[in-house]
């Protein structure tokens, strides 16, 4: 093994560790992808996670400059096909190998920058934020799942976006307390300034998420074997989390963060396996 191959492998491993440390739910789904594509999915998630940390954690720093530097370093890594930052090196390998559009990357950074300056969203800025922060991640993954099959990628473009949107909106509901009380952010344009979230607004939001989930499921059924089970498992995890969130009153979500315990996550595996193998997607 050459020194370059050793460096590439170290970069991939760091992206994998990053994913495992930050997200047990996504890590669980990725473990059921084919071995050939796992490093590339880790490469995307590691990149996304590091950028997200800039705007969500390091408030004492000049976040605008940090994000600008990170974006410039990302584009430089893609153009050079190399970076001294292992996470960016891992990501550029994915971008260059699968010809991922830089437009998707630009939209992602646009959304990250909104987190620095935007505290409340209109319908327009909300849709733009969800697209850049979540939907483009699904579109990046589609390039990996179908490895250049543009016809299939185009066919499932809508469903991939809807899955990313559903995941993000569920996260918004789950993290409502931290986003509002901790970071001063209101993502949902339906939120009212005086009560933040009431039962009427919550129902409207839940109806939107339900539609996103239903549209996403249509595409999951058509994914290739290298990824279908893993994506469906992540879908079912978020569906379970969403169903649990629906049982809580609106005011409760501002006081606590709803979770799915590890036992429930593991219990989903055989159930999802049976449904995926028998084609009983629900």
User: Within a domain: residue 105?
Assistant: no
Residue 149 sits in the same domain as residue 86? no
Phi, psi of 186 (to 5 degrees): -125, 105
Confidence bin at 205 (pLDDT 50/70/90): very high
Report the predicted TM-score, pTM, of the whole model to 2 decimal places.
0.94
- State the angle between helix axes of 228-246 and 157-174 in degrees (0 to 180), rounded to the nearest 10: 40
The C-alpha atoms of residue 15 and residue 268 are separated, in whole angstroms, by 26
The whole-number pLDDT of residue 139 equals 97
Residue 172 sits in the same domain as residue 90? no
The C-alpha atoms of residue 158 and residue 138 are separated, in whole angstroms, by 10
User: Within a domain: residue 243?
Assistant: yes
The whole-number pLDDT of residue 61 equals 95
Residue located via tokens 């990628």: 153
The C-alpha atoms of residue 268 and residue 112 are separated, in whole angstroms, by 32
Residue 255 sits in the same domain as residue 139? yes
Residue 209 sits in the same domain as residue 167? yes
User: Within a domain: residue 249?
Assistant: yes
pLDDT of 220 over the 80 cut: yes
Q: What is the mean pLDDT of residues 136-143?
A: 97
pLDDT of 193 over the 70 cut: no
Residue 67 sits in the same domain as residue 161? no
User: Within a domain: residue 157?
Assistant: yes
Higher-confidence position of 196 and 233:
233
Mean pLDDT rounded to a whole number for the chain:
94
The C-alpha atoms of residue 114 and residue 130 are separated, in whole angstroms, by 11
Task: Provide the β-strand partners of residue 120.
Answer: 186
User: Within a domain: residue 205?
Assistant: yes
CATH number at residue 270: 1.10.600.10
User: Within a domain: residue 272?
Assistant: yes
Q: What does the pLDDT look like over 93-139, one tens digit per residue?
A: 999 999 999 999 999 999 999 999 998 999 999 999 999 999 999 99
Q: What is the mean pLDDT of residues 193-221?
A: 92
Q: Cα separations (Å) of 42 from 46, 52, 171, 196, 278?
A: 6, 15, 20, 35, 28
Residue 122 sits in the same domain as residue 259? yes
Confidence bin at 278 (pLDDT 50/70/90): confident
Confidence bin at 261 (pLDDT 50/70/90): confident
Residue 1 sits in the same domain as residue 51? yes
Phi, psi of 121 (to 5 degrees): -120, 145
Confidence bin at 194 (pLDDT 50/70/90): low
Q: What is the mean pLDDT of residues 175-204?
A: 87
Q: What is the mean pLDDT of residues 239-262?
A: 92
Residue 130 sits in the same domain as residue 69? no
Q: What does the pLDDT look like over 181-190, one tens digit per residue?
A: 889 899 999 8
The C-alpha atoms of residue 268 and residue 275 are separated, in whole angstroms, by 11
The C-alpha atoms of residue 255 and residue 253 are separated, in whole angstroms, by 5
Count the Cβ atoms, other than its own, within 10 Å of residue 73: 14
The C-alpha atoms of residue 216 and residue 243 are separated, in whole angstroms, by 16
Least confident stretch, 131-135, 178-182, 228-232, 244-248: 178-182
User: Within a domain: residue 110?
Assistant: no
| DSSP result, 173-200 | HHTHHIIIIIT--B--TT-BTTTBS-HH
Domain carrying residue 260: 118-282
Residue 150 sits in the same domain as residue 22? no
The whole-number pLDDT of residue 91 equals 98
Q: How many domains does the chain divide into?
A: 2
Residue located via tokens 């990725």: 30
Nearest to 168 by CA among 102, 260, 241: 241
Residue 224 sits in the same domain as residue 140? yes
Q: What percent of the chain has pLDDT over 90?
A: 81
User: Within a domain: residue 107?
Assistant: no
Residue 52 sits in the same domain as residue 187? no
């Amino acid at each position: 093994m050459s020194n370059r191959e050793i460096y590439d492998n170290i970069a991939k491993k760091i992206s994998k560790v990053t994913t495992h440390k930050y997200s047990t739910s996504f890590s669980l789904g990725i473990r059921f992808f084919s071995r050939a594509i796992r490093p590339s999915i880790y490469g995307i998630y590691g990149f996304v996670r590091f950028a997200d940390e800039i705007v969500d954690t390091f408030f004492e720093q000049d976040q605008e400059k940090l994000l600008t530097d990170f974006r410039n370093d990302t584009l430089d890594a893609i153009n050079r096909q190399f970076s001294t930052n292992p996470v960016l090196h891992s990501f550029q390998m994915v971008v260059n190998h699968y010809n991922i559009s830089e437009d998707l990357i630009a939209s992602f950074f646009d959304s990250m920058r909104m987190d620095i300056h935007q505290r409340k969203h209109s319908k327009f800025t909300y849709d733009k934020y969800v697209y850049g922060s979540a939907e483009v991640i699904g579109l990046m993954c589609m390039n990996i799942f179908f490895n250049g099959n543009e016809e299939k990628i185009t066919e499932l473009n809508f469903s991939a976006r809807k899955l990313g949107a559903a995941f993000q909106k569920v996260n918004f509901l789950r993290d409502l307390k931290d986003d509002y009380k901790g970071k001063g952010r209101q993502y949902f344009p339906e939120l009212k300034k005086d009560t933040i979230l009431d039962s009427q607004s919550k129902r409207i939001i839940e109806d939107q998420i339900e539609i996103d989930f239903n549209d996403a499921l249509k595409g999951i059924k058509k994914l290739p074997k290298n990824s279908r089970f893993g994506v469906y498992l992540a879908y079912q995890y978020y569906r379970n989390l969403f169903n649990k969130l629906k049982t809580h009153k609106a005011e409760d979500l501002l006081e606590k963060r709803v979770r799915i315990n590890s036992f429930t996550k593991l219990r989903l595996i055989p159930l999802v396996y049976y449904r995926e193998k028998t084609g009983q997607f629900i």
